[in-house]
């Protein structure tokens, strides 16, 4: 008689796996459920049976899960490929590659870096730039790459609507041609967008002949053409182009400016000495400290030297030029003084003669003592805006190359100025040429500038001298921006006028 439990076990097993029972030894009821010592069976072609309890073992469960996941992936791929792979009835159906229907997955940072490094290695091996992978929206991307980029500043349409306005100032002096293009930032300050400076020596030989020489005018016109191109490449809201002492005193000054207008298209105006002094002061407003009562500001040019006496002891206004109590313009500069006394070979005797000559010109200035006792106060100092002063400062710092950021606004004691002047007097012409802060263009002019500086220091002695690498261009920009309301803060109008400009 068969064991009913054995029949039930065999039936359940057949129902679970779909196969037949190998024998009636699945369970030994005679030995209280203990398994018999089974002998190893030979390999059979029949599938391996599951346990007699009717449950799947762990390996079978894993295989079942894999089958379910595989079927789900096939269904997903078919659903995604169905709208894109539909072809007209008359065309042959083509199998869809599994990678084409696979949904795009986001690359991890690690895979992205690996991909980038492979492209770099490929570029280094082939010597060509790696090709960009095509994307699903290739046509718009190609149109975007083939679109020409506008040149910055070449036309008004290329300038952003929210870009700050640009202002330009050009100063054609006796020795230099300078251009400055800038945009306003904080009240009294601006950011330089473009600049140009070249030594042209327009006043060369002017003291002897009273006329501008042909070579000097040609050099100036070539420099002005560069300025014209720079101005044409930008959208400038307002500009002012001035000419100073050389064109002011030369017999053919007006004729030269007409030639400039014809050859360059630039219309320069000749400013008087008072305007030149005012512009020199306007450009140095931010260099006046709050604890200052009086200043003597001077600008040593190529054909003239402007001196302004400034009193800020009682009140302060946004415009420093409003505090000028007296001014003068000496008809002498580094070019005219060097031509008269010699600039290449300068002895201590010839240097003293230059100082005496400039001192006599200052003695003719009737209002030179108008600051009174303020010049004896420790709250009084000098401000120099000329190339002579900036050259002395560069030599004092021992710069291997001129650096405006380190020069503009620095302080020098009177002993430092005296030491630098004595040092320059001990150098011959070749030594001055070899100095990186002087060079060949200024080697024959720097001692003439030092003589003018010493004459000013004798009349207005001061313990401190502030160096300003700025001048008429900065004064022009300051006045243009101020008159145009470029620094007006509509959100906080009380903030205006806190800094002297």
Domain extent listing, the chain: 166-273, 285-470
CA of residue 64 relative to chain centroid, distance: 66
Q: What per-residue confidence (pLDDT) applies to 241?
A: 97
Instruction: Say if residue 208's pLDDT is above 50.
Output: yes
- Give yes or no on whether 166-273 and 285-470 have one common fold: yes
Q: What per-residue confidence (pLDDT) applies to 125?
A: 64
Q: What per-residue confidence (pLDDT) applies to 129?
A: 46
Structure tokens at 91: 């065309």
Strands 236-243 and 269-270, by their bridges, are parallel
* pLDDT-wise least confident of 51-55, 60-64, 407-411: 51-55
Q: What per-residue confidence (pLDDT) applies to 157?
A: 44
CA of residue 248 relative to chain centroid, distance: 37
Alpha-carbon span 33 to 53, nearest angstrom? 13
* pLDDT level of residue 34 (50, 70, 90 thresholds): very low
Alpha-carbon span 450 to 387, nearest angstrom? 10
* pLDDT level of residue 142 (50, 70, 90 thresholds): very low
φ and ψ at 284, to 5 degrees? -110, 20
User: Do residues 478 and 238 make contact, with C-beta atoms less than 8 angstroms apart?
Assistant: no
* Contacts of 211 by beta carbon, 8 Å cutoff, 6+ apart: 205, 250, 251, 252
Which pLDDT tens digit goes with each residue over 439-459?
999 999 999 999 999 999 999
Instruction: Say if residue 177's pLDDT is above 80.
Output: yes
Beta strands in 200-243 (DSSP E): 236-243
Instruction: Say if residue 479's pLDDT is above 50.
Output: yes
Give me the mean pLDDT over the 2-7 stretch: 42
* pLDDT level of residue 26 (50, 70, 90 thresholds): very low
Instruction: Say if residue 492's pLDDT is above 50.
Output: no
Which pLDDT tens digit goes with each residue over 274-326?
999 999 998 888 888 888 999 999 999 999 999 999 999 988 777 888 999 99
Structure tokens at 160: 């952003």
Instruction: Say if residue 499's pLDDT is above 60.
Output: no
> Taking the CB of residue 69, how many other CB atoms lie within 10 A of it?
10
> Taking the CB of residue 143, how many other CB atoms lie within 10 A of it?
9
Alpha-carbon span 216 to 235, nearest angstrom? 30
The CATH number given to 166-273 is 3.30.420.40
Which pLDDT tens digit goes with each residue over 393-417?
999 999 988 888 999 999 999 999 9
Percent with pLDDT over 70 in the chain: 72
Alpha-carbon span 41 to 317, nearest angstrom? 112
For domain 285-470, give the CATH superfamily.
Answer: Exopolyphosphatase. Domain 2 (3.30.420.150)
Instruction: Say if residue 2's pLDDT is above 80.
Output: no
Instruction: Say if residue 427's pLDDT is above 90.
Output: yes
Q: Which of 146, 198, 161 is nearest to 177 (CA)?
A: 198
Instruction: Say if residue 84's pLDDT is above 90.
Output: no
* Global model pTM greater than 0.75: no
* pLDDT-wise least confident of 122-136, 181-195, 207-221, 400-414: 122-136
Q: What per-residue confidence (pLDDT) applies to 19?
A: 40
Residue with tokens 């300068």: 346
Alpha-carbon span 60 to 132, nearest angstrom? 46
Instruction: Say if residue 332's pLDDT is above 90.
Output: yes
**What does the mean pLDDT of the chain come to?**
79
- More reliable by pLDDT, 219 or 487: 219
Q: What per-residue confidence (pLDDT) applies to 20?
A: 41
């Amino acid at each position: 008689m068969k064991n009913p439990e054995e029949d039930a076990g065999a039936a359940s097993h057949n129902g679970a796996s779909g196969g037949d029972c190998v024998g009636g030894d699945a369970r030994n009821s005679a030995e209280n459920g203990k398994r018999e010592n089974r002998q190893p069976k030979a390999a059979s072609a029949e599938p391996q049976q599951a346990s007699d309890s009717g449950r799947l073992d762990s390996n079978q469960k894993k295989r079942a899960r894999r089958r379910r996941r595989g079927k789900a992936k096939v269904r997903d791929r078919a659903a995604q490929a169905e709208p894109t792979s539909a072809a007209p009835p008359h065309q042959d159906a083509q199998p869809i590659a599994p990678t084409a229907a696979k949904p795009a997955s986001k690359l991890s940072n690690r895979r992205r870096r690996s991909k980038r490094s492979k492209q770099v290695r490929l570029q280094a091996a082939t010597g060509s730039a790696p090709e960009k992978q095509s994307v699903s929206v290739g046509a718009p991307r190609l149109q975007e790459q083939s679109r020409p980029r506008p040149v910055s500043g070449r036309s008004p349409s290329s300038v952003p609507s929210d870009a700050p306005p640009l202002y330009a100032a050009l100063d054609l002096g006796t020795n230099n041609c300078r251009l400055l293009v800038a945009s306003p930032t904080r009240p009294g300050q601006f950011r330089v967008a473009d600049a140009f400076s070249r030594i042209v020596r327009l006043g060369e030989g002017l003291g002897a002949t009273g006329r501008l020489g042909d070579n000097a005018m040609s050099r100036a016109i070539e420099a002005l053409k560069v300025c014209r191109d720079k101005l044409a490449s930008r959208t400038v809201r307002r500009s002012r182009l001035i000419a100073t002492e050389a064109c002011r005193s030369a017999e053919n000054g007006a004729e030269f400016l007409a030639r400039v207008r014809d050859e360059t298209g630039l219309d320069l105006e000749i400013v008087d000495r008072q305007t030149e002094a005012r512009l020199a002061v306007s450009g140095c407003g931010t260099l006046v400290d709050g604890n200052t009562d009086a200043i003597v500001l001077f600008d040593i040019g190529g054909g003239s030297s402007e001196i302004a006496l400034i009193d800020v002891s009682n009140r302060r206004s946004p415009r420093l030029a409003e505090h000028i109590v007296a001014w003068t313009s000496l008809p002498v500069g580094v070019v005219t003084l060097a031509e008269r006394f010699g600039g290449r070979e300068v002895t201590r005797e010839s240097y003293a003669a230059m100082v005496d000559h400039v001192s006599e010109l200052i003695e003719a200035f009737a209002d030179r003592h108008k600051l009174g006792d303020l010049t004896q106060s420790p709250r009084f100092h000098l401000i120099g805006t000329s190339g002579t002063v900036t050259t002395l400062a560069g030599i004092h710092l021992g710069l291997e190359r001129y650096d405006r950021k380190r020069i503009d606004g620095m302080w020098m004691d009177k002993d430092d100025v005296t030491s630098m002047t004595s040092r320059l007097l001990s150098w011959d012409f070749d030594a001055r040429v070899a100095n990186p802060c002087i060079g060949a263009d200024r080697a024959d002019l720097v001692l003439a500038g030092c003589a003018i500086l010493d004459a000013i220091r004798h009349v207005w002695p001061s313990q401190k001298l502030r160096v300003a690498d700025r001048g008429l261009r900065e004064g022009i920009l300051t006045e243009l921006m101020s008159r145009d309301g470029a620094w007006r803060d509509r959100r906080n109008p009380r903030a205006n006028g806190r800094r002297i400009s």
